[in-house]
Amino acid sequence: MQDKIVVSDTSLSQAAARVLALTTPSPLIDFKPDWPGAERISMQIKRDDLIHPVISGNKWRKLKYTLDALPGSCRHIISFGGGFSNHLHACGHLCMQLGIRFTALVRGNYAANPTPMLRDLAAWQACIQYVDKPTYARRSDPIWLENLQKQHPEAVIIPEGGSQEHALKGVAELMEEDAAACDHIIVPVGSGATLAGLICAGHNPVSVTGVAVLKGEGYLESLVQSLLPSTGRQNHWRILHDYHQGGYGKRNATLTAFCENTTRQYNLPVEPVYSGKLLFAIKDLLAKHFFPDGTRLRIVHTGGMQGAR
């Protein structure tokens, strides 16, 4: 990877930001939909989807300090995900751009019928290994990981979704980039690391609401809890479980139509896996007066448009 780095880069993340021409800080835009209840509060959208056309916004934030923590000699990264994973997609593109070898351990076997995401990975020269479900289930088992590391002593293994301690610091920066104040921040929840980062973020207390995109009541809360540091200030947080629409990647005609309308009417690209469910939830929450009048709500658009293909 050293050949892509020039002397003026002080860190690998800085080199990556330059090579990839990332848009950071991401734009913060006003959002005034004609939804019932919207007139009672003010909303702004943090457009992390605009950070990069390929790398999902929150995946960049989660990987930033992971990159900086890589040993200088690192020439191989291994990570995990499903066949549509935005995290694998982000890692694959980043590694290709930085000249690092990338191995993707993919849950299930798509060899006969690769997804667009997997076809991108192959085009970027990633090594794709299909893993059966029982094996994949061991992805955070220390013994299994130790064995994997023995097979690839030179590689750095990044957990699924990039969800590790370094991720929280990168996500927290999202709160530092804009002068405008907010009292409440809302974000979709998959592995929970983005939510965890926001719980630890900022100097003034805000409420943090996560919208679960998968069925995970209880499980997601403990996942987030396990990622939070034991010390330091934390924002008040909760996860809403009424908006997963049947589970991860599940969609229905109502959600699909909502995404299409929102994209067209507000010139705001949303997909049904994350941002569509988030905005669908916000529309419903406004109708139910979930947010106190006058709330300054910040909506995080985490990106993920590739997953909609």
Ligand X SMILES: *Cc1c(COP(=O)(O)O)cnc(C)c1O
Give contact residues for ligand X (rule: CB under 6 A). Answer: 56, 58-59, 86-87, 161, 188-195, 274, 302-304
Q: Taking CB positions, which residue lies at the least distance from ligand X?
A: 304
Minimum CB–partner distance for residue 47 and ligand X (Å): 12
Minimum CB–partner distance for residue 305 and ligand X (Å): 8
Whether 303 and 45 have beta carbons less than 8 Å apart is answered as: no
Minimum CB–partner distance for residue 277 and ligand X (Å): 10
The sign of the torsion formed by the CA atoms of 17, 18, 22, 24 equals positive
Residue closer to ligand X (CB basis): 37 or 276: 276
Residue 78's beta-bridge partner residues?
103, 157
Residue closer to ligand X (CB basis): 155 or 186: 186
Minimum CB–partner distance for residue 302 and ligand X (Å): 3
Residue closer to ligand X (CB basis): 44 or 58: 58
Helices 57-68 and 86-98: crossing angle in degrees, nearest 10, is 50
Residue closer to ligand X (CB basis): 1 or 271: 271
Identify the CA nearest to 139 among candidates 148, 151, 152. 148
Whether 26 and 61 have beta carbons less than 8 Å apart is answered as: no
The Cα 35–Cα 37 span in angstroms is 6
Whether 197 and 61 have beta carbons less than 8 Å apart is answered as: yes
Minimum CB–partner distance for residue 9 and ligand X (Å): 26
Helices (H), the chain: 12-19, 57-68, 86-98, 116-123, 133-136, 142-151, 165-172, 193-199, 219-227, 253-265, 275-287
Residue closer to ligand X (CB basis): 37 or 304: 304
Minimum CB–partner distance for residue 241 and ligand X (Å): 14
Residue closer to ligand X (CB basis): 92 or 303: 303
The Cα 102–Cα 155 span in angstroms is 9
Residue closer to ligand X (CB basis): 37 or 272: 272
Residue closer to ligand X (CB basis): 192 or 272: 192
Residue closer to ligand X (CB basis): 5 or 193: 193
Whether cis (ω within 30° of 0) applies to the bond prior to 25 is: yes
Whether 55 and 93 have beta carbons less than 8 Å apart is answered as: yes
Q: Which residues make Cβ contacts (< 8 Å) with residue 143, sequence separation at least 6? A: none
Minimum CB–partner distance for residue 10 and ligand X (Å): 27
Instruction: State both tokens at 259.
Output: 């995404």
Minimum CB–partner distance for residue 55 and ligand X (Å): 10
Minimum CB–partner distance for residue 167 and ligand X (Å): 7
The Cα 253–Cα 261 span in angstroms is 12
